[in-house]
Chain A
Amino acid sequence: KEKHKILHRLLQNST
């Protein structure tokens, strides 16, 4: 998951 941290963060943002 560390490799895909930007996508992970963007999906977690609620908006």
Chain B
Amino acid sequence: SHLLLTEPAPLAANQDNSTNDSSLRILLTLCDLLNRELLVLIGWAKQIPGFSGLLLVDQMSLLQSGWMEALLVGVAWRSQGAGGDELVFAGNLRLDEAQCRATGLADLYEALRHLMAKYRAMKLSPEEVVTLKAMALANSDADPVDCPDSVQRFQDGLHEALQDYESSRREQRRAGRLLMTLPLLRQTADRAVQAFLRLHRHHRVPIHKLLLEMLDAKA
């Protein structure tokens, strides 16, 4: 219930008008949105029980490793409700397959659709979504971690919350099933990071400082 309360309201995209190139306009709009989402994500992380008690260096490591996974849980969740084949980055930024292909995000599109299909089939509840998001951060396998015991306790707290929740619904197998979706989430996030790095390095798409710093940490 704490995670449900601290879940930030979805952001809206600010449409970029700086260029006539419609693909570039979409990318600039998307990168601006992601940059602002990152800011919100960092504020959100501090409110997850146990996170602020970690060493500052470990907080940084977890965020640097797990930020894209946490953001993609949100995208996949928002896209569930939308029928059709769109990725819902924001209520006013929905990209279909053709748009993703035109903007160099075909690979990301395919990976995210795969993840979404998995989540959709599982019919995730809001409680599960917010816990999965926090677990993606806690379980990001940051290396090195200065205080592994504290990180372990942080993970245990979230795991226990998930198990308690599923027990209350008499869904004994559900926690394990959710944990088994984490590898696909990791894989999808890696592809997303590669896609944005490629756009920046090879196609010179300008990227805001915070987003670039977080992408570079994963490069």
Q: Report the Cα distance A12→B142, complex, angstroms.
A: 19
Chain A interface, DSSP helix/strand/loop, else mixed: helix
Q: CB distance A7 to B210 under 8 Å?
A: yes
Residue of B39, B43, B46, B213 near A4 (CB, 8 A) is B213
| A7–B56 touching, CB < 8 Å | no
Within 8 A of A (CB), among B54-87: 56, 59-60, 63-64
Cα distance A15–B44 when bound, in Å? 10
Q: Contact between A11 and B214 (Cβ–Cβ < 8 Å)?
A: no
How many residues of chain B are within 8 Å of chain A by beta carbon? 15
Minimum Cβ distance to chain A for residue B130 (Å): 21
Q: How many chain A residues touch B (Cβ–Cβ < 8 Å)? A: 10
Residues on the A chain within 8 Å of B210, using CB: 6-7, 10
Give min CB distance, A13 to chain B, whole Å: 9
* CB neighbours of B63 from chain A (8 A): 7, 11
| Smallest CB separation, A6 vs chain B (Å) | 5
State how many angstroms separate the Cβ of B145 from the closest Cβ of chain A. Answer: 15
Q: Which residues of A contact B (CB under 8 A)?
A: 3-8, 10-12, 15
Pick the 8 closest A-B CB pairs, nearest first.
Answer: A10-B42, A6-B210, A6-B213, A11-B59, A7-B60, A4-B213, A6-B209, A11-B56
